[in-house]
Structure 1
């Protein structure tokens, strides 16, 4: 990426791809709510200073041009910036870019239009849209070049905490998903739990009547579900690795379990309070306990020193 024209051309293409990815995301969100093109119409109205949303082809087309123009410019800037880095464009940089875009949308929308677009469209949908755009932009830049640089996943794959943590997280996420799948089918409402949580996060649902069970709500929540468990798995793995050297760190594992239970209930109360009455408390507690047992079983299998230490502690108590 030494040539200026190469930076511009690749940056424009990557930016347009990111803009298209975000546009497709909001097209899916709007379609799931039965309001096609609601987002571009709302943004065009805010940009033009209209008090009410104007659903017309002209404003939507105008906003679309602005949208892709801004992303093309962003792509050029990002392409130039990553050309200075020793590593190739990667997913982690894409996620970081997505969070920066999310912050930018909030502040710029308030400054330019006086409208809090993040609140109006729902922060989960805006955040996911920006993350998708950031990853798409970096993904295109990665395909364009950087073959001679170290792939982003190499240092991660060599990290025991990341490798085992993600695997443990998948065990926990799969256990909880399977548990609630059984519960939902037993109650005659397949995929209700992920659909309800996804509806609360992405569509702003506040009661059972507004719950929408489709690919967007179920799939979107599932992705967040897996990511959250991956993070918990990495924390648990770090504690397990530390406990092999410093046994008292096992107390941290116990605290992690207690915090995990409290965090899940807190998130439920924050984003989907109406579900606390629709779901028996024991189903939530049982799901989390099963996930903890599954993750603990996996990590103990990967840490024989920890097994031996626990065995000796048990014999000493006996």
Structure 2
């Protein structure tokens, strides 16, 4: 085998691993986003206001992007489907980004024995940071949901994403 063939094989293996990590990140992020969306959908449904939370958050996001002050949504407010859709896309993309970050950290832990604990601690810290950010942005500025709702939603997202990663990488998470 020539040096060129060895180099090409290494690049193909690296490319396949990168695709695998990317796909795992996308899948875990979508699972986390779905867990949060389902929680708020059920909560809104029980309050008789289906899709109120993503509509209120979409309205606030649109206001911020337009340079206007976001106003708190009142119970009973209705929102156009476009605001629900736009917020859902942004929400999904944020979770996909977090999922890709998590997949990269777990891949690093898998390839570097002894770093498993650091990978899991980093993911836990990242989850707490996202929860804190959610509390600040959603709970304080937009007043669309309660802090308890945010904690429950992020716990469900962490469980969904963690379960997915655990099934995909038991050697990393089990090695902690």
TM-score (norm 2): 0.77
- Secondary structure of the residue aligned to 1:213 is coil
Shift of 1:242: 1.9
Q: Identify the residue that residue 157 of structure 2 maps to in structure 1.
A: 291
Give 5+ residue unaligned stretches, structure 1: 1-154, 311-318
Specify whether residues 178 and 157 from structure 1 end up closer, same or farther in structure 2 by C-alpha distance, changes over 3 A only. farther
CA RMSD of aligned residues (A): 2.3
CA–CA distance in structure 1, aligned partners of residues 128 and 19 of structure 2? 26
Asked if 1:208 corresponds to 2:77, the answer is no
CA–CA distance in structure 2, aligned partners of residues 222 and 200 of structure 1? 13
Shift of 1:273: 2.9
Q: Does the 8 Å CA contact 2:31/2:161 hold for their aligned counterparts?
A: yes
Asked if 1:248 corresponds to 2:117, the answer is yes
Shift of 1:265: 1.5
Q: How many residues align?
A: 152
Shift of 1:157: 9.0
- Secondary structure of the residue aligned to 1:208 is coil
- Whichever of the two has the greater Rg, that structure is 1
Shift of 1:214: 1.7
Higher relative contact order (CA 8 A, sep 6+): 2
- Secondary structure of the residue aligned to 1:261 is helix
- Secondary structure of the residue aligned to 2:31 is helix
Q: Does the 8 Å CA contact 1:198/1:217 hold for their aligned counterparts?
A: yes
- Secondary structure of the residue aligned to 2:122 is helix
Specify whether residues 263 and 180 from structure 1 end up closer, same or farther in structure 2 by C-alpha distance, changes over 3 A only. same
Q: Does the 8 Å CA contact 1:156/1:163 hold for their aligned counterparts?
A: no
- Structure 1 outlier segments of 4+, above 6 Å: none
TM-score (norm 1): 0.44
- Secondary structure of the residue aligned to 1:260 is helix
Q: Identify the residue that residue 267 of structure 1 maps to in structure 2.
A: 137
1:300 paired residue among 153, 156, 166? 166
Q: Identify the residue that residue 38 of structure 1 maps to in structure 2.
A: none
CA–CA distance in structure 2, aligned partners of residues 233 and 220 of structure 1? 20
Specify whether residues 287 and 224 from structure 1 end up closer, same or farther in structure 2 by C-alpha distance, changes over 3 A only. same
Shift of 1:161: 2.4
- Correspondences of 1:73-84 after superposition (within 5 Å): none
- Correspondences of 1:60-209 after superposition (within 5 Å): 158-203=18-63, 204=68, 205-209=70-74
Q: Identify the residue that residue 34 of structure 1 maps to in structure 2.
A: none
CA–CA distance in structure 1, aligned partners of residues 86 and 37 of structure 2? 14
CA–CA distance in structure 2, aligned partners of residues 198 and 156 of structure 1? 37
